[in-house]
A and B are shown apart, each in its own frame.
Chain A
Amino acid sequence: MTSVLSILHRLSGVVLSAGFVLVLGWVVALAYGPNAYGYVYGFIQTVWGKIFLSGFAAAFFYHLAAGVRHLLWDAGWGFKLPQVYATGTVVLVFASLATAVVAIRIWGLA
């Protein structure tokens, strides 16, 4: 579990870098005018757009929780093996729940 969580942190970070570039593109399109924004807005409304948003949400919440775990390690806390497994589980549960809440919102189920 520890190695999978570690590589997931890196993978989600790379995914979020790409997502960050897309967000910047979204802001630039919004500043450019209604036509440019229309393309972005139109794509977000499609199934693919919603899949992208949900994927970025999953990457974001995982990276956020795993990042806080890294900050705790940097502060010298959480290196005992039971703690490593416990915090890893907390990270996975938090990321799953937060992603589920946002996905429900994105897909308009509630």
Chain B
Amino acid sequence: MNQNEGLKSDLARVRGLGSAKSGTGHWVGMHYTSLALVPLGVWFAFSMFICIGTADYAAARAWFQSPINSALMILFILVGAHHAVSGLQVVVEDYIHAPFCKHAKIIGTRFLFAALAVLATLSVLKIFLGL
């Protein structure tokens, strides 16, 4: 402990030095999403690389007419976005130390992925409903 801080209260001394008590939730979120992404990711990779990644417009739209494909795709979008945001957050926290820059990047990533995930979910619904 720095001797020059003798006049500070105990709370002022420790504030900002330790756990923010939010790490467990992040770890559990990463754990659950990665568990879910094992089957979802395998399904998606198989579909994307083998079936629809090189499909033309009509074939790709027909693929989304299946309720199973559309449902799994929406699940993949939501779980994948959560996993990507949490993973990128760790990378940003590890390499970017300026507080403003760090929080701006974390919040910006969250907003971007949330917006894109909603947009893509609506797109899947639009194709599924044949609109």
Give the contacting residue for B50; candidates A30, A32, A102; CB below 8 A. Answer: A102
Measured in the bound complex, the distance between the Cα atoms of B84 and A23 in whole Å is: 13
Flag whether A71 is at the interface (Cβ < 8 A).
yes
Contacts of A106 in B (CB 8 A): 49, 53-54
Contacts of A34 in B (CB 8 A): 57
Would B117 and A24 count as touching, CB distance under 8 A?
yes
Would A24 and B57 count as touching, CB distance under 8 A?
no
Contacts of B61 in A (CB 8 A): 30
Flag whether A90 is at the interface (Cβ < 8 A).
no
Report the interface size class on chain A.
20 to 34
Would A31 and B84 count as touching, CB distance under 8 A?
no
Contacts of B77 in A (CB 8 A): 24, 27
Contacts of A37 in B (CB 8 A): 57, 60
In B1-51, the 8 Å CB interface with A consists of 31, 34-35, 37-38, 41-42, 45, 48-50
- With contacts A30-B127, A38-B57 taken as known, whether A17 is within 8 angstroms of B119 at the C-beta atoms is no
Measured in the bound complex, the distance between the Cα atoms of B56 and A38 in whole Å is: 8
Please tell me the number of chain B residues within 8 Å of chain A, measured between CB atoms: 36
Using an 8 Å CB-CB cutoff, how does the interface string of B42-78 with A read, 1 for contact, 0 for none? Answer: 1001001110011011001100100000000100010
Give the contacting residue for A24; candidates B37, B119, B126; CB below 8 A. Answer: B119
Would B49 and A30 count as touching, CB distance under 8 A?
no
Contacts of A68 in B (CB 8 A): 38
Give the contacting residue for A31; candidates B31, B53, B127; CB below 8 A. Answer: B127
A-B contact pairs, 26 of them (CB 8 A): A14-B87, A14-B91, A17-B88, A20-B80, A24-B116, A27-B73, A27-B77, A27-B127, A28-B119, A30-B123, A31-B127, A53-B49, A53-B53, A61-B45, A64-B41, A64-B42, A64-B45, A67-B34, A67-B37, A70-B34, A71-B35, A71-B38, A74-B31, A102-B49, A102-B50, A106-B54
**Interface of A with B (CB < 8 Å)?**
10, 13-14, 16-17, 20-21, 23-24, 27-28, 30-32, 34, 37-38, 41, 44-45, 53, 57, 60-61, 64, 67-68, 70-71, 74, 102, 105-106
